[in-house]
Amino acid sequence: MSTTKELLQQLVRNGQFRCIPVSEWNVLTGKQRELLIRQARNTPPLTYSPVSLECKNLLRSYHAQGLLPGFHPEDFKDLTAFEADFLIRCAEDNRWLTEKSLFDYYRQTDIDTAPADPEQLSRI
């Protein structure tokens, strides 16, 4: 990479770095910038993949329909593709199921992804 700007652009394209405003970048010291770039290089690709325009429009539509309780439109700018996919699944479930809040989905996801306890393992 010939410049830091090109390196950062490549890291953003790979989904290894989230876009930050120029004003935030300018506040960082040289060592802080180096640390941030080093951390970004160690981040797995696609971690911060940007949300496609199609997904953003779908989420806006779901929000307008009231299918994403607890989600605010100003949160769109910071979403990653993985987070958007999760919210789309929540909204689609909300369309057909009883009303659930975003907190209920997060709690259920935590339960579903928690390690199995001995009782669950014995039933398997």
Looking at the chain, the number of H-run helices and the number of E-run strands are 7, 0
Predicted confidence at residue 98, as pLDDT, reads 58
pLDDT at 100 over 70: no
- Supply the pTM of this predicted model: 0.51
Domain edges within the chain: 4-42, 53-113
Predicted confidence at residue 69, as pLDDT, reads 84
pLDDT at 1 over 50: no
- In this prediction, residues 16-29 reach a mean pLDDT of 79
Predicted confidence at residue 36, as pLDDT, reads 83
Straight-line distance from the first to the last Cα atom of the chain, in angstroms, rounded to the nearest whole number: 52
